[in-house]
Amino acid sequence: MGNNISTANVTNRGEEMNPEILKIFEIYGSLKDANMLYGNYDLVVGFILLFIKNEKSKSYDQMMSDFKSKYICSEMEIEKSHTKEERTGLSRVYDYIQNKDPEAEIGIASEIRMIHQILWSDMPHPEAGGELRTIQLYLPGSSVELSLPENVIADLCGMYDALEALEAIKEEVNNNPEKIIEYIREATKLTCNLIKIHPFLDGNGRTMRAFLNYLFKRVEIPPTYILPQENEEYRKAMELAMLHGDYSKIEEFYLYKVCDSIAELNYGIVTADLECGPVSEEKEYR
């Protein structure tokens, strides 16, 4: 995964930080710099649990504002989407997530359609936002079989039990913070299955990653981001899950991404200077 953590920044902030989490940062940063972070499951779990139990300092609104200012362009880079309309729509999506009540009742179909509608709100044909596809789609270079268009609604309804189970875990987190790891894994799995359904003609990845960040908000986890240099790793993990039903790599990927978001958005430790591609004025969309 990308090298994000500056151990120098950790040292500079040491006087402000709990010695236990400072030690974790130092180990986490050195392993990340050496590309040896994967496999250190106990470290990652300990990092997340320490944050959930003791170390939250910034408000969610502040973390989301920091997220939007830095990582909207990262999302656009990995999707190779550089039009002003698409960037504006994605920014509005995260405004919506930021303002949405984390305790509100949630439905999968209605929620992802709302997110997609907002994503498409500034496009040449905004009325297409939230519309379920009626043609078959294929992922370029992949043998993953996406849902047939006539099965999209039924397949979305089939995710109801998974959402109910996730909501039950959410309630347990309040009394047992260690359940947060199970919550992250199950939310990731649910999102992966939604991407496999691929309910929209375009914008499925952005929509479902935004939906995942809303699920994370419901347990006070900061929004996650994928850097362009991590995109290949992310795609391979998603392929393994969608093609073979093996969710271990994509769940592991997001556990580390949660750590990165905690480091940057709560502590200001991570430094990832992103250069957004130039805004295109072309009106051609996939």
Q: Are 41 and 49 in contact (CB under 8 A)?
A: no
Question: Can you name the CATH fold of 7-266?
Answer: Fic-like fold (1.10.3290)
Separation of alpha carbons 168 and 81, rounded Å: 36
- Where do the structural domains in the chain lie, given as residue ranges? 7-266
Separation of alpha carbons 29 and 10, rounded Å: 9
Torsion, Cα 67 70 71 72, to 10 degrees, reads: 100
Any idea which of 116-120, 168-172, 174-178 has the lowest mean pLDDT? 174-178
Q: What percent of the chain shows pLDDT beyond 90?
A: 56
Tens digits of residue pLDDT in 174-206: 889 999 999 999 999 999 999 999 999 999 999
Q: Is it the case that residue 165 has pLDDT exceeding 60?
A: yes
Which pTM does this prediction carry?
A: 0.90
Q: Is it the case that residue 5 has pLDDT exceeding 60?
A: no
- Compute the C-alpha angle 183/186/192, nearest 5°: 140
